Structure 1
């Protein structure tokens, strides 16, 4: 682990102990790096506070069950590079693979606030079956899947939309936990050989509410047309 990772910062991210603070022009929030399954929390969009979370990452046990606990993950490395917050986890929750997560602010139109999540999976074993889920949720806000692969969350004058690269994550049925309704994406568990790196990408954006359907489709087209994201 780098000796100074707990205090590094950029124009978008700042590390405060095990917390990563996002301070983009329109979107603010915090990620607890020891608990990525909690996602980006404490969010503000245009100065208005939101209750919920974005892009919470969890691992899936080989038997297909969800991760067994909210125990802290083992951090192998953390660094900030421009728009990127990069965290590498060694065998999170004792699952037999390593996971590198990029939370990346992306270039977007002036009236949008957009964030990428890139999951890079690698296994040190000759045979493993990694599984990863991603979940976003807004307090008491209905969610909808459009086109079979795009999640839309509307609130007030804006909507939050998500899309994934074709062949990466698959949308899952939403779940309700108390007053929270979550939209899930899932990869695996899927067979991987030693040395193979699998990169999965998800893009989310806050957009004008009336443009939600159009922007959801646009995000999907953007990801389909881009080269796969490079990771370390």
Structure 2
């Protein structure tokens, strides 16, 4: 829940429903194959995230070195950390002209890891790694991103290339490159868009699409916020606009 809600009821597999008013940050978890029923008395605002069984197994394998981890049914509990991630997910979903799919994927991955660490049959304390990527891993991931930055990348995919868990990978990547993975990919896409804008007469809508952006406005907004200029400013005055 990212806003207060009144009269929320949640019961697992035939439990007696119990209503309660809940605060922002109230979290509920339904493991696979567990039936539940939820209702509420009025308008509410929440973020619903679904992980496939395969995704949970893969995350658990990285985090605990074992795939036989089961999520615990959690009716309603206050979780401030989950609330912060949910708010960031909401911001991305509400601003499609500024959104970044790799950033959104990383937030969903972070939330999945948080749930596994705190609401599963196997729990472990968070270990804060201090090392960056090895030179070999840094070179490998740099080459991969530069070759595939126009593709739809995921945190799990990039972490696998480096042989790391998604959570460890993100921190190690930041320590090595000074940017989170989603930002590094965004900069490569903006570089490519600038090259097309300054060396071709390609319509701006085509430039946006070929550079990995959902629309011309998506490209314009991200270029303005990231580089303080617009696609139109990069075009020479004599270059025809299409």
In the superposition, the TM-score normalised over structure 1's length comes to 0.28
* Higher strand fraction (1 or 2): 1
* Higher helix fraction (1 or 2): 2
Q: Rg bigger for which structure?
A: 2
